[in-house]
Amino acid sequence: MTAIADKMLRIGEVAELTGTTPRTIRYYEEIGLLPGAEDRVQGKHRCYSLQDIERIKEIVRLRDLLGLSLDQLRALLEAEAARAELRREYQDADDPETRKRILNQSLGHIGTQLELVQGRLLELQQLEQELVDKRRSVRGKLRELEQ
Amino acid sequence: MTAIADKMLRIGEVAELTGTTPRTIRYYEEIGLLPGAEDRVQGKHRCYSLQDIERIKEIVRLRDLLGLSLDQLRALLEAEAARAELRREYQDADDPETRKRILNQSLGHIGTQLELVQGRLLELQQLEQELVDKRRSVRGKLRELEQ
DNA sequence: TTGCTCCTCACGTCACGTGAGGTGGC
DNA sequence: TTGCTCCTCACGTCACGTGAGGTGGC
């Protein structure tokens, strides 16, 4: 039942759900950003799981919000995959020193991403403030005229 | 004295000051995003004023923070120029109704830009929150191991 | 005069867009 | 079977990067 509900989405639906296009999704597969099922017969339809959708959404979000190149994005996502791998190792590790080391690496990766995001946030907030100031000034002049 | 201090910067310095490259600045001139002095003799050096630098900085900021295409950016900047023109008209207008109309148009333009900026801000803040949550979770596990 | 930056083509690249012609599944 | 979406080339485009070969100003 749960397995049947998987791998049933077609590229057009996926494009719609992720705010992309079929061409973009094929391109991401081409350059290795998306896995691209090995067992697909040449010429046959691609199909996608809900996890695939999540990954594409993640790519789109990082691409648009952080303005990274797809090469940088790939590096970042590989680091993320490495973390997932570490988490699996972590489950198996009994040695508390090993577990600490893994957790500290995770902290590093998260910190890197946070710095990128917070840098952008500061710039955007500055831009917002300037626009709000402008608006306040214009509204002030309007009020002067109205009374 | 003030006129002499103008139009003295070369393209390399301008690129450095605005975080771009000479090629980018020439390209923006080519597609009409930057004015490009008409009276420059073919083959002679371009030179820039402090106002030019401000314009380029504005372009770069909107390009990077809002992710607009240069076509969309041009439209937005033309709207901004139109507002500047309106401000000049505004100075001359004595009719309060005319002044109100001009101010209301200004409000519209500012509102459009604010919506773009605030949309981006919301997305970025959401991303930040997710990262902060992840970090908190990892730090919690670390503390468990340490005591 | 020497060295650096500038100039103008012009081809390359990244991240896709856009048909052209053909096949696949409800 | 019909219609829609899918497939694979392959060329086009946007926003520049990157030399190639030559000129300009301190």
Q: For residues B121 and A91, which has the higher predicted lDDT (pLDDT)?
A: B121
Residues 40-59 of chain B sitting with CB below 7 angstroms of strand C: 42-46
Q: For residues A83 and B88, which has the higher predicted lDDT (pLDDT)?
A: B88
Residue among A65, A96, A125 whose CB faces B145 most closely: A96
The per-residue pLDDT for range B21-65, each reduced to its tens digit, is: 999 999 999 999 999 877 788 889 999 999 999 999 999 999 999
Nearest to A131 by CA among B72, B76, B123: B76
Nucleotide at minimal C1' distance from the A47 CA:
D6
d(CA B49, CA A105): 48
d(CA A87, CA A56): 22
d(CA A113, CA B76): 31
Has residue A105 got a pLDDT over 90?
no
Residue B2 confidence (pLDDT) = 40
Q: Which of B98, B138, B145 to mutate to test the interface with A (most CBs of A within 10 A)?
A: B138
Asked whether the beta carbons of residue A135 and residue B103 sit closer than 8 angstroms, the reply is no
Percentage with pLDDT > 70 across chain A: 95
Residue B130 exposure: Cα atoms within 13 Å on the Cβ side: 10
Asked whether the beta carbons of residue B103 and residue A142 sit closer than 8 angstroms, the reply is yes
Residue B146 confidence (pLDDT) = 83
Asked whether the beta carbons of residue B131 and residue A145 sit closer than 8 angstroms, the reply is no
d(CA B123, CA B125): 5
Q: Which helix (H) or strand (E) holds A128?
A: helix A96-146
Q: Which residues does A14 contact at the CB level (< 8 Å), separation at least 6?
A: A20, A25, A48, A52, A53, A56
The per-residue pLDDT for range A38-78, each reduced to its tens digit, is: 778 888 999 999 999 999 999 999 999 999 999 999 999 98
Nucleotide at minimal C1' distance from the B72 CA:
D14
In B31-95, alpha helices (H)? 50-66, 70-92
The per-residue pLDDT for range A107-120, each reduced to its tens digit, is: 988 998 999 999 99
- pTM (whole model) above 0.75: yes
Please state whether strand D lies within 7 Å of residue B75 at its CB atom: no
Look up tokens 């930040």; give the residue: B128
Residue A7 confidence (pLDDT) = 66
Tokens of B130: 């997710």
Residue A1 confidence (pLDDT) = 40
Tokens of B5: 């201090």
Has residue B4 got a pLDDT over 60?
no
Residue B12 CA to nucleotide C5 C1', Å? 8
Residue B140 CA to nucleotide D17 C1', Å? 46
Residue A45 CA to nucleotide D5 C1', Å? 10
